A and B are shown apart, each in its own frame.
Chain A
Amino acid sequence: MFFVELIAQSLVQGSIYALIALGLTLVYGLLRILHVAHASLFTLGAYIGVLTYNATGSMVLTLLAAMAVSGLSGVAMFRLAYQPILKQPPHVALIASIGLFIAAEECFRIIFGASGLSFANPPLQGQVQLFGGLQFKQAELAVMGGTALIIGMLGWLQTRTRIGVACQATVSDPQMAESFGIRLTMVRDLNFLIGSALAGFAGVWVALLNNLVEPTMGSVPSYKALAIIVLGGLGSVPGTLMAALVLGLVESFGTVYLGKVLDRNAIAFAFLIVVLMVRPQGLFAKR
């Protein structure tokens, strides 16, 4: 029973990691930028979520608002910070990204206050009893369901629609794609829009599970998402999803059985190091 509960918890955690890491892997696949500031869009989504829900009381509006604001901010970040330095070596963009991330944390603190925000009446807090005493918060079930749905939609978008195929073409050979009439800027904008909206979506759920949004809530996801995309074999979407779930499992069991020796973040990185020693290309890389 205890094992089932731990596995269930790792699914919840893995879903959240998947949502955050997906945007990062999309950006990496397309532009080869390690987009650390991605995690600040996760925090932004959480803030917008709490503010919208406290004002309107509608979960649908909350999710839409958070995804819209995070998504558009992601596009703005690309246009203003990354686009001008695309020709520079990748570490230039990385430095810009870290700078953006730190600046964003401090902006959140200045605008929304140091002590964080909470939902006045958090929704979806009820208990759902499943078989054998397994108990979930409604929000936990919703985050798993929501993640599966969104990722399914994304997979369909990428393989079955023109725009998805255009994205894939741009990833594998941008110059060739451009010469076939694919507008690179549009593909890149769309990439940032979708990836950042997913981070905002994740932010709302984490806010709901913890009932706390803080300026620094992106700091752990910022580097853990990097670990996940490395594990998943940089730039691979299915690999990233699997890596997120595997990391969720490793962390859940690690917290319980190794928690006295190593903390959860240390466990995640110890796992990353071990995997990279055995499979330097990541767990699921094809190339």
Chain B
Amino acid sequence: MKFSGTTPSALAAIGMALLSGVALADIKIGITVPLTGFAAADGKSALDGAKLAVAQTNAKGGVNGEKLDMVVYDDQASPKEAVPAATKLIEKDKVVGAVSGSYSGSTRAASAIFQAAQVPYVVSYAIHPDITRSGDFMFRVSAMGEVQGRGGAKLVSSLGKKKVVLITLKNDFGQSLAAGFKEGAAKYGITIAGEHEYSIQDRQFGALVSAVKAQEPEVIYASGYFYTAGPLVNQLRAAGVTATIIGQEGYDSEKFMEIAGPASEGVLITTSLDRDSTNPATKAFLADFKAANNAGADMVAAATYTATQVLIDGLRKTGGKGGAALRDAIAAGTYDSAIGKLSFNDLHEVNKDLQVQVVKDKSFRRHSVISDPVLLAAPTKASR
């Protein structure tokens, strides 16, 4: 059954590959993504998402009759690897545009290089505010940390809860979420009964869990990635903590349920991928990703797929040309994407709804959607 759908497209891809040999030079785009090191799991997801977008484009005839060629560099989610990776993409591979499928630290470092070379850089899920501040060749398809944090506070208030303990991952991601959450908490009259921080290498939270338990919160707002949040949630429940746990898009992976096991049931997350979406673009992405990778998509894959599509869409408009023309084409576009309807503001950030998903029977399902254009407004050039 599955094969009847894939064979023609596979044939088409082979056909395109053969054709492109005699056609014009390929259009080169780049991606910086962590393929080794601590973030390698997210990097693999991101790359799978980006590859899907490129393969789909090439299967449909490429851009302007030319095949897309994606050059991949491993940045290990580390600034010191990201700088040479970005430089190579620009100087050696001469890419017309690039995608970040990586974390904030490395993406921030790369953004300055791409900006200086005037190569558009579409960022998928790195949420540090400084990235789009690097300049007008930067674009970001996901909601910034502060915005998601404010949304988290609204979620707590809509659940009718008041007493929250924060468990914050000590990096760009966790700290910007905590800042946004505290801002929102003040607005909704939420009491913060305690604040804890942990490092990205921590997997054993014994002491921290004891401290949280003693503070008796109604809600725990815990930032982290699935590989920290899985053990954390598991250990919180094992110690008998029954408070509602709210996480964010870092939890958004099937691995989270695998690691936390039954403890994951009922955990809420704010993210950008809605598994129960009725949006055709989201449904198509979820199905295509599953067919291509034999695994369910996560937020990282969806965001990187979308970022790659945004770049490709811009290239279609410019006929494969980069530089300022590509920047303007991307900025002017509106996108009906796997993570919702997107358009960029003057700082090249997106405004969109926040999806709340809940873990039910070992998978993420829709819980609610936070739609609040004022609270969830992305920063603009004027606002900072």
Contacts and interface: CB of A to CB of B under 8 A. Distances in A.
Given A122-B261, A220-B201, A264-B198, A109 B40 contact: yes
B371 interface: no
Interface stretch (B20-28, B156-164, B252-260, B327-335): B252-260
Contacts of A238: none
Given A2-B214, A135-B239, A212 B203 contact: yes
Nearest to A261: B197
B196 interface: yes
Interface string B200-220: 011110111111011000000
A58 interface: no
B197 A260 contact: yes
A179 interface: no
Nearest to B196: A259
B234 interface: yes
Contact of A106 (B36, B204, B207): B36
Given A114-B43, A253-B207, A260-B196, 14 more contacts: A1-B214, A5-B214, A6-B207, A12-B206, A115-B40, A118-B230, A137-B238, A209-B235, A212-B203, A214-B227, A215-B40, A216-B37, A255-B208, A256-B208
B231 interface: yes
B188 interface: no
Interface string A26-60: 00000000000000000000000000000000000
A264 B40 contact: no
A263 B238 contact: no
A152 B206 CA distance: 25
Contacts of A122: 261
Nearest to A255: B207
Contact of B230 (A1, A211, A252): A211
Contacts of B44: 114-115
Contacts of B258: 118
A9 interface: yes
B206 A9 contact: yes
B240 interface: yes
A263 B238 CA distance: 23
B210 A263 contact: no
Contacts of B40: 109, 114-115, 215
Contact of A209 (B35, B204, B208): B204
Contacts of B210: 2, 5-6, 9, 256
Contacts of B36: 106, 109, 114
A206 interface: yes
Contact of A127 (B198, B199, B234, B238): B238
Interface in A214-242: 214-217, 219-220
Contact of A256 (B207, B239, B261): B207
A116 interface: yes
Interface of B is mostly: helix
B227 to A, nearest CB: 6
B16 to A, nearest CB: 30
A219 B195 contact: no
Given A2-B211, A255-B207, A259-B208, A118 B259 contact: yes
Given A127-B240, A211-B234, A264 B202 contact: yes
Contact of A9 (B197, B207, B231, B234): B207
A16 B199 CA distance: 19
A159 interface: no
Nearest to B260: A211
8 contacts: A10-B206, A13-B207, A115-B253, A116-B259, A211-B259, A212-B227, A256-B196, A263-B197
A125 B261 contact: yes
A252 B206 contact: yes
B204 A210 contact: yes
Interface string B259-295: 1110000000000000000000000000000000000
Contacts of A135: 238-240
Contacts of A210: 203-204, 230-231, 234, 259
B320 to A, nearest CB: 33
Interface string B27-57: 0000000011110110110000000000000
B41 A116 contact: yes
Contact of A263 (B170, B203, B231, B259): B170
B260 to A, nearest CB: 7
A172 interface: no
Nearest to B199: A263
A239 B208 CA distance: 27
A217 B209 CA distance: 20
The 9 closest A-B pairs by CB, nearest first: A9-B206, A115-B41, A114-B40, A252-B207, A263-B199, A210-B231, A5-B210, A255-B207, A210-B203
A232 to B, nearest CB: 21
Nearest to A2: B214
Nearest to A253: B207
A116 to B, nearest CB: 7
B41 A114 contact: yes
Contacts of B239: 135
Contacts of A6: 207, 210-211
B43 A13 contact: no
Contacts of A175: none
Nearest to A12: B206
Contact of B255 (A10, A115, A263): A115
A206 B213 CA distance: 22
B50 to A, nearest CB: 16
A134 to B, nearest CB: 10
Contacts of A1: 214
Contacts of A214: 38, 41, 227
A5 B213 CA distance: 10
A217 B203 contact: yes
Given A210-B203, A215-B40, A259 B197 contact: yes
Contact of B195 (A5, A16, A216, A260): A260
B204 A116 contact: no
A263 B197 CA distance: 8
Choose among A125, A212, A256 the residue with the greatest number of B CB atoms under 10 Å from its CB.
A212
